[in-house]
Amino acid sequence: MISADEAITRLKEGNQRFVAGVRSVDAIVKQMNLADHAQGQAPFAIVLGCSDSRVPAEIIFDQSLGDLFVIRVAGNIVAPSQVGSVEFAAETFGTPLVIVLGHTRCGAINATLDLLEKPAAEQSSNVMSIVNRIRPAVEPLFHTELRNDREKLVPACIHANIMASTNQLSHGSEILEQLVEQGKLKIVGAEYSLETGEVTFFD
């Protein structure tokens, strides 16, 4: 298994290919050989990303079958099922890297801000379960001067939400904490630009 830093480099190179509109020959060949993946998997990165249809991790990183262990949920939030999925992949496959992948113009962020501006009397409890996990990260920003400038507020909230999810994974699981302390796992945040196709990794 490659190291976390090598995994990041591999993802960055894949994203550069995606932005340039080219595909890796290796990715295409791996995709054609389905039988090779039937007996097991060894993903080199775990991606906790948003469900948005415009942000499929395998495509924007130009990876193929078996390369990424992808968990998608609106707002790239961290709930017990997501933590368990990350723990499973990190322990079972020895995957060295976790990326929390948010994106520009996130609908879940906008929905949370809308409810902060005008609380709705009736709202799906299931939708609220997502909003309530995003809210602690964005509400402090909502109560600053950014509240009057939505164009600046949304990007700041997206970044804050990504980092909040990254922090929750880093400190909300004894298993993941131990793997990080042992140098076996790295957890980072990143943001995909719907406008350019580029992924920016955060320190």
Secondary structure element (H or E) that encloses residue 60, with its range: helix 57-60
Closest to 155 measured CA to CA, from 96, 86, 195, 106? 106
**Chain segment 116-147, per-residue pLDDT in tens:** 988 876 778 898 999 999 999 999 999 999 98
- In angstroms, rounded to a whole number, what is the distance separating the alpha carbons of residues 128 and 125? 5
Bridge partners of 48? 71, 100
157 labeled binding residue: no
> Is the distance from CB of 57 to CB of 47 less than 8 angstroms?
yes
Asked whether the beta carbons of 165 and 189 are under 8 A apart, the reply is yes
Q: What are phi and psi of 5, to 5 degrees?
A: -65, -40
Q: Which two tokens stand for residue 128?
A: 């609220």
Residue 143 assigned to a binding site:
no
CATH number of the domain within which 100 lies: 3.40.1050.10
Residue 103 marked ligand-binding: yes
Ligand-binding site membership of 52 (annotated): yes
Q: What total of structural domains would you count in the chain?
A: 1
pTM recorded for the entire structure = 0.92
DSSP state at residue 65: T
Domain that includes residue 177, residue range: 4-201
Rg of the chain over all Cα atoms, to the nearest angstrom: 18
Q: Is 66 helix (H, G, I), strand (E, B) or coil?
A: coil
Q: Summarize pLDDT for 48-100 with one digit per residue, the tens.
A: 999 999 999 999 999 999 999 999 999 999 999 999 999 999 999 999 999 99
